[in-house]
């Protein structure tokens, strides 16, 4: 994850550590066996799943360095004592799905804005204790997203470009990271921000494009492609995203923001074509459905600032996609248990009318 022999931050609070990218970060840090300990604080929303940490919990040496606490980052009483005992906070916790933010934005404001505020206030209290010589001030890493730049019709976003978020999700994420930066400027907190691109890989909740289409295709269900399917995303393998965050945690400069690009730009149609070929399923499963309102056409980032910090992604896109398809084939219990209960109501709300009015994708 990080290149350092001796990690700078040994006791970590990882919020949202039961989600897709957070759990990968936790598994990978613990698997390095470098003595770091992790407290996970996770609300276990519909997107959180403690099973995602099972590989670490099954290993006694790793399990001894992992503590799991169910709680809300927007709850100061839960957060303050945990921040008091760590060297760094890495905040993955968020409502993360754009479509859900369109259906119901409120939870996004509560977690992605107010939750970040509560974490920052706890770090500020610890910085005050550090000023009295009682401890070292904690570092705060805010995990943000390329969506804060808005739709990028051409070229690549750089860290100092204007933020033009266009969905309730991306607006809330922009607010969260701007708040974090304001605590660096105003209170001198040790804050770093990462902006990651579209991430894919094992343990990805099946509400998102790649796992939704893999799991639907395995079951010969329709694949609802929004609009013309020519929107472009830049895909980053989950272990590379988690690794880059670990690298910025160790080596990033306080007050700085780092783009984490995948450098694998594809249209959604290209992604579906690759998935169907790997699964041996027909294109006739694909249905063109009503577009996402305010759908961003393209994201693309320049990540030379991260490269200058010494990080290079490791997973080639074809290999990452093959590993992802294999994982979903081999871990059907994992996603079938998610695709039940609350999922069915969500799926109907999001897709029933769309699929009823859908057309064949040529
Ligand atoms: P996810 O939805 O899979 O996981 C989010 C986790 O946060 C879950 O475990 C959930 O239970 C937890 N959580 C939600 N609200 C909480 C709260 N109030 N208190 C404590 N825990 C709470 O998300 P992900 O895809 O792993 O994304 C992680 C982070 O990375 C998010 O901040 C997201 O904005 C950012 N990001 C994601 C991507 C991507 O493509 N997935 C890309 C760039 C940035
Ligand atoms: O870019 C980073 C962001 O990537 C993260 O900040 C978000 O947390 C993460 O969810 C992701 O957002 P997207 O909206 O890009 O991901 P999603 O998988 O929802 O959609 C990817 C593309 O696929 C997008 O153009 C919409 C399209 N899509 C998605 C779904 C779920 C479809 O065409 N059909 C679908 O059913």
Q: What is the pLDDT of residues 22-81, one digit of tens each?
A: 999 999 999 999 999 999 999 999 999 999 999 999 999 999 999 999 999 999 999 999
Q: Which of 42, 87, 126, 146 is catalytic?
A: 146
Read off the pLDDT of residues 127-165 as tens digits, 9 standing for 90 and up: 999 999 999 999 999 999 999 999 999 999 999 999 999
Q: How far is the CA of 71 from the centre of ligand 2 (A)?
A: 27
In whole angstroms, give the CA distance from residue 286 to residue 84: 51
Q: Is the pLDDT of residue 298 over 80?
A: yes
Residue 98 Cβ contacting ligand 2 at under 6 Å: yes
Q: Where would I find the H helices in the chain?
A: 20-31, 54-57, 60-63, 76-83, 98-103, 106-109, 116-131, 168-187, 209-218, 238-251, 268-279, 304-308, 317-330, 332-338, 342-356
Spot the catalytic one: 42, 72, 169, 240.
Answer: 169
169 classed as catalytic = yes
CA neighbours within 13 Å on the CB side: how many for 32?
Answer: 20
Domain spans in the chain, listed from the N-terminal domain onward: 11-201+236-264+295-315
Q: What is the pLDDT of residue 246?
A: 98
For residue 215, the CA-to-ligand 1 centroid distance in Å is 21
Q: Calculate how far, in angstroms, residue 15's C-alpha sits from the geometric centre of ligand 1.
A: 9
Q: Is the CATH code 3.20.20.20 the one for domain 11-201+236-264+295-315? A: no
CA angle 175-177-182, nearest 5°? Answer: 90
Residue 208 alpha carbon to ligand 2 centre in Å: 6
CA 95 to centroid of ligand 1, rounded, Å:
6
pLDDT at residue 129, as a whole number: 96
Predicted pLDDT at 362:
87
Q: Say what angle helices 317-330 and 268-279 make with each other, to 10 degrees.
A: 50
Q: Are 355 and 285 in contact (CB under 8 A)?
A: no
* Residue 146 designated active-site: yes
Section 4-13 average pLDDT: 88
Kindly report the average pLDDT of the chain as a whole number. Answer: 97
Ligand 1 binding pocket (C-beta < 6 A) is 15-16, 18-22, 41-45, 47-48, 72-74, 92-96, 111, 115, 143, 145, 173, 196, 198-199, 205
Index of the ligand 2 atom closest to the CA of residue 97: 10
pLDDT in tens, 182-240: 999 999 999 999 999 999 999 999 999 999 999 999 999 999 999 999 999 999 999 99
Q: What is the pLDDT of residue 145?
A: 98
Residue 4 has pLDDT above 60, yes or no: no
90 SS3 class: strand
> If you ran DSSP here, which 8-state letter would residue 11 be given?
E
Is any atom of ligand 2 closer than 6 Å to the C-beta of 201? Answer: no
Q: Answer yes or no: 347 catalytic.
A: no
What is the rounded CA–CA span in Å between residue 175 and residue 114?
A: 9
Q: How confident is the model at residue 98 (pLDDT cuts 50, 70, 90)?
A: very high
Distance CA 216, CA 8 (A): 43
Q: What percent of the chain has pLDDT over 70?
A: 99
* pLDDT confidence band for 332 (50 / 70 / 90): very high
Query: Is 195's C-beta closer than 6 angstroms to any atom of ligand 2?
Result: no
Q: List the one residue out of 78, 76, 20, 55 whose CA is nearest residue 245.
A: 20
The reply to whether ligand 2 has any atom less than 6 angstroms from the CB of 211 is no
Q: Which atom of ligand 1 is nearest to the CA of 20?
A: 26
Ligand 1, atom 41: closest residue by C-alpha: 199
Query: How far is the C-alpha of 298 from the C-alpha of 231, rounded, in Å?
Result: 6
Q: pLDDT digits over 124-137, tens only?
A: 999 999 999 999 99
Pairing between strand 359-360 and 232-237?
A: unpaired
pLDDT at 1 over 50: no
CB crowding 23-53: b at 16 or more within 10 Å, else e: bbbbbbbbeeeeebbbbbbbbebebbbeebb
Q: What percent of the chain has pLDDT over 90?
A: 98
Residue with CA nearest ligand 2 atom 11: 198
Q: Is residue 105 over pLDDT 60?
A: yes
Q: What is the pLDDT of residue 3?
A: 52
Beta pairing partners, 223 = 286
The pLDDT-based confidence of 2 (bands split at 50, 70, 90) is: very low
User: 108 vs 99, 121, 171, 179, CA distance in Å?
Assistant: 12, 19, 9, 15
User: Exactly one of 147, 177, 234, 240 is catalytic; which is it?
Assistant: 147
- CB-facing half-sphere around the CA of 224: CA atoms within 13 A: 18
Residue 89 has a pLDDT of: 98
215 lines ligand 2 (CB under 6 A): no
DSSP string, 111-171: IIIIIHHHHHHHHHHHHHHHHTTSSPPPEEEEEEEGGGG---SSS-B-TTSPP---SHHHH
Give 314-324 pLDDT, tens digit per residue: 999 999 999 99
């Amino acid at each position: 994850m990080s290149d350092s022999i001796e990690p700078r931050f040994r006791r970590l609070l990882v919020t949202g550590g039961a989600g897709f990218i957070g759990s990968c970060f936790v598994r990978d840090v613990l698997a390095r066996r470098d003595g770091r300990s992790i407290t996970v604080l996770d609300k276990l929303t519909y997107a959180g799943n403690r099973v995602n940490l099972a590989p670490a919990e099954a290993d006694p040496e790793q399990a001894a360095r992992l503590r799991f606490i169910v709680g809300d980052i927007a709850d100061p009483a839960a957060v303050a004592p945990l921040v008091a005992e760590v060297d760094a906070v890495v905040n993955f916790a968020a409502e993360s799905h754009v479509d859900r933010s369109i259906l119901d934005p409120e939870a996004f404001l509560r977690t992605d804005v107010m939750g970040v505020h509560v974490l920052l206030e706890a770090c500020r209290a610890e910085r005050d204790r550090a000023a009295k010589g009682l401890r070292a001030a904690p570092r705060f890493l805010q995990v943000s997203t390329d969506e804060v730049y808005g739709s990028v019709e051409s070229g690549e976003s750089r860290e100092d470009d204007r933020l033009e978020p266009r969905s309730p999700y991306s607006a809330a994420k922009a607010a969260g990271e701007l708040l974090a930066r304001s605590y660096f400027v105003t209170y001198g907190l040790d804050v770093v921000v990462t902006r990651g691109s579209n991430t894919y890989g094992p343990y990805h909740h099946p509400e998102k494009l790649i796992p939704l289409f893999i799991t639907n295709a395995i079951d010969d269900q329709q694949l609802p492609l929004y609009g013309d399917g020519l929107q472009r995303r830049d895909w980053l393998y989950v272990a590379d995203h988690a690794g880059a965050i670990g690298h910025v945690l160790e080596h990033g400069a306080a007050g700085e923001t780092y783009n984490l690009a995948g450098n694998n730009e594809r249209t959604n149609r290209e992604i579906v074509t690759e998935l169907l070929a790997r699964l041996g399923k027909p294109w006739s499963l694909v249905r063109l459905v009503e577009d996402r309102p305010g759908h961003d056409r393209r994201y693309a980032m320049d990540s030379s600032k991260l490269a200058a910090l010494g990080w290079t992604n490791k997973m080639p896109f074809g290999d990452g996609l093959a590993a992802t398809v294999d994982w979903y084939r081999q871990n059907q219990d994992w996603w079938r248990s998610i695709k039940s209960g609350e999922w069915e109501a969500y799926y109907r709300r999001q897709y029933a009318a769309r699929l009823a009015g859908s057309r064949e994708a040529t």
